[in-house]
Structure 1
Amino acid sequence: MATRELLSPAQRLQFTEIPHFITPRDLARYYTFNNDELRVIKQRRRPHNRLGFAVQLCYLRFPGRVWSLGEIVPESVLFYIASQLKIDPTIIREYS
């Protein structure tokens, strides 16, 4: 018996990708850390590990999956996360 796809590949991407243009409201909604999260993030020793761990947390929150190896984080999201941690966003390249 043939199965039927409910979503097209383009529709499926909408649910699994962060849009390259994200509104300031959505940035604040999905990617603002509370005090408990900041405490856990700051337990990481090096700045690039803190930033990478924070990005992983954000990806779990929205779009609801892990950050894939080699995937480029949209610049607005990366800068928003890094500004909360007071870390240079360019060090994300050191996170492995």
Structure 2
Amino acid sequence: MGLQNLTNDQKMNWERLTKPGRAIQETKFTDPIALRELGLRAPVQRLMGKVGLQGFLNYEARTYERYTLEFLSTLTKGRRRRTLHNLPFE
């Protein structure tokens, strides 16, 4: 078993993602698109139904897509953070 036939990039990503101490943010929301694409929708529905948690599959993360995209578009990798010490004088 295990991971086989990985490219070098995939191996590097695996190593990065499985580092000990890496924080994982849990959530109560499911991703219906991911479940469907992975072929896990029906098995997850069966499992959640058996343990009485079927309602969790109906929770939707309420987001504001337009505002989120606008915010994310303002981010630049490596941009220097503005602090009180480096703000320009106006």
Quickly name the TM-score band, shorter chain normalised.
Answer: under 0.3
Q: What TM-score comes out, normalization by structure 1 length? A: 0.23
Q: What TM-score comes out, normalization by structure 2 length? A: 0.24
Which has a greater percent of helix? Answer: 1
Considering Cα pairs closer than 8 Å and 6+ residues apart, tell me whether 1 or 2 has the greater RCO.
1
